[in-house]
């Protein structure tokens, strides 16, 4: 896995990251202006730098938490000035929002192949594969475990995000469970809302424990819970789900 704490000198195909060079304040203020090669090149350069800042901020928030990480430290890690970073994000709260939005977009894009053709059972299969993928991105697990704990404080800027995120996840999972029950893939006696709560709690709890013990098989544990709920037809449908290979 590419080191998420560094945003200088590499390109990550999954996150559109590009090199970020040290620039003075004036240069950063003009970074999105047209450059040699036309406006499109200038826009692409600014977009790449913005994505690189988001990726670096993710690493700092994961390592130190939102409250302890500073704009100055993140800017220095990107090789730009504090004023240069504030050209893209007016304050730390705006940067945090961008970090969380980027993670949501990545997860949603990863789920798209599972929802095409496989229906509700595809969504559940996607949860297992997402749990397996997460072990390859420990920085993102650290980010969410730390931030979700911090955000329990009433005045934390990410509190509303996590409240809405958990509600959205539980609602979507309950919808998938309900659809799988109707299709005969899950037991008819399952309560969709209860199952969604239990599945969400399992996945979050496994991530927290995995940070202490990398031997924990997160995907295996999620699969085990789902297998306890599946009908024989559901087992066959689950194993038959096929998706295109996705970038790590």
Tell me if 58 is assigned to some domain. yes
Query: Average pLDDT, stretch 141-166?
Result: 89
Distance CA 224, CA 247 (A): 25
Instruction: Provide the residue range defining the domain that includes 191.
Output: 101-240
Residue ending a domain, among 90, 111, 131, is 90
Question: What does the radius of gyration of the chain's CA atoms come to, in whole angstroms?
Answer: 20
Give the per-residue pLDDT at 167: 95
Distance CA 218, CA 199 (A): 12
Distance CA 195, CA 185 (A): 14
pLDDT, tens digit, 9 for 90 and up, residues 179-231: 999 999 999 999 999 999 999 999 999 999 999 999 999 999 999 999 999 99
Q: Does the pLDDT of residue 25 top 50, yes or no?
A: no
Distance CA 170, CA 172 (A): 6
Give the per-residue pLDDT at 81: 95
pLDDT, tens digit, 9 for 90 and up, residues 81-100: 999 999 999 999 899 889 88
Tell me if 190 is assigned to some domain. yes
pLDDT bin (cut points 50, 70, 90) of residue 13 is: very low
Lowest mean pLDDT among 15-29, 37-51, 213-227: 15-29
Q: Do 84 and 109 sit in the same domain of this protein?
A: no
Q: Do 111 and 193 sit in the same domain of this protein?
A: yes
Q: Does the pLDDT of residue 74 top 90, yes or no?
A: yes
Q: Do 205 and 132 sit in the same domain of this protein?
A: yes
Tokens of 109: 């894009």
Give the per-residue pLDDT at 147: 85
Q: Do 77 and 110 sit in the same domain of this protein?
A: no
**Number of separate domains in the chain:** 2
Distance CA 113, CA 222 (A): 19
CB–CB of 128/222 below 8 Å?
A: yes
Q: Does the pLDDT of residue 40 top 80, yes or no?
A: no
CB–CB of 194/138 below 8 Å?
A: no
Query: Average pLDDT, stretch 113-132?
Result: 87
Q: Does the pLDDT of residue 163 top 50, yes or no?
A: yes
Q: Does the pLDDT of residue 19 top 70, yes or no?
A: no
Q: Do 160 and 220 sit in the same domain of this protein?
A: yes
Give the per-residue pLDDT at 33: 39
Q: Do 173 and 207 sit in the same domain of this protein?
A: yes
Q: Do 149 and 202 sit in the same domain of this protein?
A: yes
Query: Average pLDDT, stretch 132-139?
Result: 86
Helix-then-strand count for the chain, H and E: 11, 0
Tell me if 95 is assigned to some domain. no
Q: Do 72 and 117 sit in the same domain of this protein?
A: no
Q: Do 180 and 70 sit in the same domain of this protein?
A: no
Instruction: Select from 216, 215, 235 the least CA-distant residue to 226.
Output: 235
Q: Does the pLDDT of residue 34 top 50, yes or no?
A: no
Residue ending a domain, among 90, 118, 136, is 90
Q: Do 229 and 128 sit in the same domain of this protein?
A: yes
Higher pLDDT, 214 or 37: 214
Query: Average pLDDT, stretch 233-246?
Result: 84
**CATH number of the structural domain spanning residue 158:** 1.10.357.10
Tell me if 9 is assigned to some domain. no
Tell me if 49 is assigned to some domain. yes
Q: Do 115 and 201 sit in the same domain of this protein?
A: yes
DSSP 230: B
Tell me the torsion sign for CA atoms 202, 205, 211, 215. negative
Tell me if 229 is assigned to some domain. yes
Give the per-residue pLDDT at 61: 87
**CATH number of the structural domain spanning residue 46:** 1.10.10.60
Query: Average pLDDT, stretch 63-74?
Result: 88
Give the per-residue pLDDT at 67: 83
Tell me if 14 is assigned to some domain. no
Mean pLDDT value across the chain: 81
Q: Do 30 and 125 sit in the same domain of this protein?
A: no
Q: Does the pLDDT of residue 71 top 70, yes or no?
A: yes
Residue ending a domain, among 33, 65, 90, is 90
């Amino acid at each position: 896995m590419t080191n998420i704490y560094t945003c200088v000198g590499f390109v990550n195909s999954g996150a559109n990251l590009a090199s970020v060079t040290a620039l003075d304040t004036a240069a950063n203020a003009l970074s999105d202006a047209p450059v040699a090669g036309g406006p499109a090149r200038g826009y692409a350069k600014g977009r790449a730098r913005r994505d690189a800042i988001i990726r670096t901020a993710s690493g700092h928030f994961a390592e130190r938490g939102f409250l302890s990480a500073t704009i100055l430290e993140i800017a220095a890690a990107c090789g730009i000035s504090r004023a240069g970073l504030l050209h893209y994000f007016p304050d730390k709260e705006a940067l945090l929002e961008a970090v969380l939005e980027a993670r949501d977009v990545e997860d949603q894009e990863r789920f798209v192949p599972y929802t095409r053709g496989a229906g509700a059972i595809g969504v559940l299969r996607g949860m297992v594969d997402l749990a397996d993928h997460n072990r390859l991105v420990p920085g993102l697990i650290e980010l969410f475990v730390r931030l979700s704990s911090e955000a329990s404080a009433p005045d934390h800027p990410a509190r509303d995000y996590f409240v809405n995120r958990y509600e959205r996840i539980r609602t979507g999972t309950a919808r998938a469970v309900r659809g799988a029950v109707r299709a005969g893939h899950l037991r008819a006696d399952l309560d969709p809302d209860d199952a969604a709560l239990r599945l969400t709690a399992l996945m979050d709890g496994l991530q927290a424990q995995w940070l202490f013990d990398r031997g924990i098989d997160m995907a295996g544990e999620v699969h085990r819970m789902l297998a306890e709920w599946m009908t024989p037809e559901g087992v066959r449908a689950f194993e038959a789900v096929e998706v295109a290979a996705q970038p790590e």
